[in-house]
Amino acid sequence: MKEVLDGDEEWEDVDALSSRASGLQTWNPWTDGMWERTYPREYFEQCQFAVHWACEVRGGKRNTVGSSRAKERLDGVHTLRLCLGVMKCANRHCDIITRPQTKNSGRLAQIQAGCSCGSQLVHHKCSIRMEYWVYRDGAHFRHSGYHHHERVPARHLTPRERAQFETVIHEHPRMGPAQLLTGRPAVNGPGPSVANISPVLLNQHRIQYERRKILNPENKVRLATDRRFLPKLERFKAKHPEWTIGLHCEGKINVIVLQSPWQRRMGLKDKIRSEAVNGIVSDACHDYFAGHNQLLFLSSTFEPTHLKCWVPIVMTYSNGATAVHYRIHFLYLFRGLAQRCEEIDHDVTDELFANVVDFSDAQRNGFIEAFTDFWREFAPHGRSERDLKKAASELLKGCRQHFDNQITRIAKISRIVGPERHSRFRKLAKELLIQRTMKDLSACANALILEFPAAKPWVEWWMRPSHASMLFSVASGMARSLWESLPATTNGAESMHHKTYRMIGRRNALFYGMEGLVRIAETFERKYRAARTGHKIFYGRDPQYWKTTRFRYSWTKHSRHEPRRKLSMDGRAPDTIARLKGKASKSKRTATVSKAITTPKPPKHLLRQLLEILETQTEQAAFSDFEDSGCNVLTKMRDNFRKKLMEEDCVRGAGSADAIFGWLGIILARLIALKPAPDEANKRCISFFRAYVLAVKKCPGCEAAPLEHWEVSHPSWRLPFQLSEDMHRLFKGDLAKWFRWVLDPAEWDSDAASCWRQWNSNPFCNGAALGKLYILSIPTILVIETGDSLGHSWKIPSSLLPLGKKFAGAGVKYNIVAHIYTDYPVGPGEVAHFIARYVTMDGKIFDYDGTAHRGHATCAPGAKCSGWLSGQSAKLKNLRARYKLIAVIYHLEGGENAQNIFRQER
C-alpha cells in the first residue's frame, strides 16, 4: 500500500478528496478503495472522518495508549473501524436493506427477528478496515479495500449537511418539521425540502430533534454549573455594553436582569391627571422562556405623550417565582429609578416605587424586602426596618380583575352559591369595594358570610390584612390621591405579555429570549424617537381608541352592551307586513328545556289521580291490627285508577299481564305526541319521569369518504332506562358503573351500525357509525328496569351522582326509594305477580303485596337500606322465594332545582 502525503497529485482523483486548501466540504462519508492520506489537525476536528458505513469501532481516545499531543503519527490516538457490511432480505422481491447493529448480540437479535416483510435476514459481511491516527500536527487516515455491497441507510448528518440544515433553520426558525419536510412556503409555492440535504431528514422526528438542538441548545438552564454559560453571557454583555445586565446565581436562585438607558429614563415621568395610569405595573410572564419555571418578570410604565402605551422598564429572567427572585427584580427596579433621579436632580421618594401587582405572597414579600434593602443602602441612617416594611406595604395595590374573576368563579359553584342567588352574591361581594370605613367593610363581609356560609373561607382570605390592604382602599395605608392615580388592574402587564409573544414568540431558549428582550426594548425606543420627530407610528389620534369609545358610549365593544329598543312609529299607520301580520314565532327546539317549569299539574289528568293515591298512601301508618274489610280507601282508589286506565286504553284488563310501567309509558307518550306541542304543565309532568336527550352519531368514514362526519338530532324525550344481559356482562353487574357510562359524553355505544348516509338504499359511506344519547336533562323519578337481565344479580348502590360528588351537596343526587319484584316466568294459565319494597322519609322500610296483609304494607323492624335495598340484588334480606328484581326506583334529592343545575352544567 502506498502512503499518500499532502500535495501528492497522484491520489487526487481516487475519491474526489481535496487538498488542505479545499476545506471540509469535500470529505466523502462513503469513502472506498485502497488509499491513505495525511490531513491537517483542523480538518479532522471539523469532519472527524465520519463515514456512513456500519462499523464496529475499536480503540479511540478512551481505549488507546497513544496521545493526541504526540509528535509522531504512530504515537498518536489510534482508532480502528471494521465495516460490518449489510443485512438483506432473503426474499428476492424485497428491496429492504437493514443496517447491522454494532454489537454481536444486537446483530443476532436482528437476524432472529427477520425482515419487516416477514422473510429471513441474511448478513452479508465485510471486513474492510478504516483506521486513523490523531497526533499534534495532523491526522492520518487509511482505507484498506473496496466495499462490494450496497450502501446501508445513513444514520447521521455529515458536517456539510449539518451546516446546510442549520442555515435553513436560521432562516426559518418558526417553521415546523412537517413544513420543513414538505417544502418551505414561498411566494410561488413550496420551496425545496430539507430531505434534499440528506435522506436522514426524511424522518420527521429526526427533523424535530435536529431543529430543537439548533434553536434550544440549553434545554435545562444551569447557570451556576454550565461552563458554557459565563462565556456566552460575557459575549452578550460585550454586544450590548450600554445595557445594565445583572447576574445573580446563588444556590438554586438564577436571575438575570436587563435594563437599557432609555428604559431607565422612561421610569420617571410627570404625573398623568387625566386617567389612572400612573405608577408601575409588575407581573410574571410564564411562557416566554422554554422550560419549567423559566419566567420573565416585567415591570412596565405608561408613556402618555408619544407611544401612548405601556412600555417595559425592567425585564428579568428568573428560574422561579419565590420572594428571593422577586426581591432581586424589584431591587434593580428601585436602583434604576434612583439613578434616573440622580441624573435629573430629582428627589427619591417612596411614591416613585408604587406598584400594581397580583396577590401573590412571594411577589408582595419580595417587594417589601427589596424596598427595605434599597433604603438601607441608599440612606443607611434613615428609617428603621419596621418603618420601612410598613411603608413598603403601603405602596402596593392589588389587581381588581383578579377579585372580579374570583367572584365569577365562586358564583358558579352551586354548592356554595345556589343558581338562583348568583346576582345576590355578586352584589354583596362587589359592595366590599365601595365601603368607606373599616367598620362598614367588616359589616359587609359578615353579611356576605351570613347569607353564604359556605363561602366563609373565601371571604376570610380576602379580609386578611395583607390582602385587604391591597384591594380595599379603606384598608390601605396608601394616600388617597396615590391610590386613585394608579391603575385598578394589571391589564397593562397582560397587554405587555401579549405584545412580547407577538414580537418574539413563546418558549424561547435563554440567550435567544434575552436577545429578543433587547430587540423589544429597542423597538419601543425607535418608535418613541420617531414619534418625537413627527413620524407616524400608528393611525388615528390615539392607539387606545377604545378609551374614547368607552367615554362616549359607556361600552368598549358593541357586543358588550344591551341594544336600545327602537322607537315605535306612532305617526305612521301600520303599512308593512311585519306590522300588519306581526312577527313570526322564532321559538326553536333547543338542547335544553328553556326554563324551570313552575306551573301546576293538569287538574283532570291521570297523573293527578295517581298523585292523590300516593298522598293517601303516605298518610297511612303501618298498622298492627287491620279491620276485617281491609284497606278500603286505598283499595277503592286503586280500583278506580285501574278502571280509568282501561277506559283510556292504557291497560288491557284488570287481570291482564302488562309491563310493570307500561301504562305510565303510554300516558307520557300521549303527552309527548300532543299537537300543538305540550304546554309547560305537561312538560313538567314528562320531565318528572323522562330524560331529555340528543341523539348523536359519528362515523370515521371509509376509503371512499375518509372524513369523519356527525349527525345530531333534535332534542327529544328518552325512552325508559332498561338494562340488558350485555350490559350486565360489560359492567360486571355494577349499576353505578352503568349509570356513569350512560352520562359520560366520551362513552359510545359498543355496537357499531352502518353509516346513515344513504340514498335509495345505496350507501354514500361504508363506515361503521357509533351512536350516543347525550342526556341534557335528568328526570326527578329515575326508573331503571332490568329488562332481559331479569334473574341476574345486580349490585345496587344506595345513591347515584349524575355530576359527581361536587354537586351532590346541591341536591344533584339520586337516592334509592323502592324495588319492584316479580315471580315471572310462571306456569301455564298463571299471571305474573308484582310485589314492592320501599323506604319512607323517616328511613323505615316497608314490603307491599296487594294479596297479603289485607292490602297493607308491612314494616320490617330494624331494617336498613344496606342489605335491604342496596347491595347484591340476589342477596337482599327477607326476599320471598321465586321473586326477582324487575325495577329499581330512585328519587332526585334536589327536585326541579337539581334538574336546573344539571341542565346548566351540561
* 288 and 339 share one domain: yes
Largest separation between any pair of C-alpha atoms in the chain: 130
Rounded CA-CA distance 778/219 in Å is: 51
DSSP 879: P
| Residue 177 in domain | yes
The region that residue 245 occupies, defined by phi over 0 for left and psi between -120 and 50 for alpha, beta otherwise, is beta
Residues 6+ apart with CB under 8 A from 298: 282, 283, 284, 285, 312, 314, 315, 316, 493, 496, 497, 500
- Choosing from 436, 456, 477, the residue where a domain stops is 477
* 250 and 333 share one domain: yes
* 273 and 336 share one domain: yes
Counting the structural domains of the chain, the total is 3
List the one residue out of 249, 250, 200, 228 whose CA is nearest residue 99: 200
Rounded CA-CA distance 901/69 in Å is: 80
- Determine phi and psi for 21, rounding to 5 degrees: -75, -20
| 221 in Cβ contact with 252 (< 8 Å) | no
Q: What residue type is assigned to position 765 of the chain? A: C
| 263 in Cβ contact with 310 (< 8 Å) | no
Please report how many Cα atoms fall inside a 13 Å half-sphere around the Cα of residue 698, on the Cβ side: 12
* Grid cell 394616600 in the structure block, residue: 479
Rounded CA-CA distance 526/549 in Å is: 29
H or E segment to which residue 143 belongs: strand 138-144
* 503 and 378 share one domain: yes
| Residue 367 in domain | yes
Give me the pLDDT at residue 787, please: 82
Q: What residue type is assigned to position 422 of the chain? A: H
Q: What residue type is assigned to position 85 of the chain? A: G
| Residue 16 in domain | no
* 384 and 284 share one domain: yes
- Choosing from 458, 477, 496, the residue where a domain stops is 477
| Residue 801 in domain | no
> Angle at which helices 361-378 and 385-393 pack, to 10 degrees?
130
Average pLDDT of each block of 10 consecutive residues along the chain (906 residues)? 38 37 64 91 87 88 75 90 93 91 92 91 92 92 93 88 90 88 85 90 90 71 64 92 92 93 92 84 92 92 90 95 95 95 93 94 95 92 91 94 93 86 91 92 93 92 93 92 92 90 89 93 93 83 65 61 57 68 50 34 59 62 45 70 73 57 79 74 84 88 81 87 89 92 82 75 80 89 86 91 88 92 70 85 86 81 89 88 90 90 86
Cα torsion 604, 609, 610, 612: sign: positive
* 441 and 342 share one domain: no
List the one residue out of 320, 352, 567, 359 whose CA is nearest residue 464: 359
* 469 and 509 share one domain: no
* 386 and 513 share one domain: yes
Q: Which domain holds residue 503?
A: 242-395+488-532
Dihedral of the alpha carbons of 711, 712, 713, 718, in degrees to the nearest 10: 110
Give me the pLDDT at residue 526, please: 94
- Choosing from 477, 503, 521, the residue where a domain stops is 477
DSSP 253: E
Give me the pLDDT at residue 9, please: 34
* 312 and 453 share one domain: no
* 378 and 519 share one domain: yes
* 471 and 376 share one domain: no
List the one residue out of 771, 764, 752, 762 whose CA is nearest residue 705: 764
| Residue 198 in domain | yes
Q: Helices H, strands E: what count in the chain?
A: 28, 32
Q: How far is CA 816 from the centre of its chain?
A: 36
| Residue 687 in domain | no
| Residue 526 in domain | yes
- Determine phi and psi for 228, rounding to 5 degrees: -85, -15
* 518 and 386 share one domain: yes
| Residue 673 in domain | no
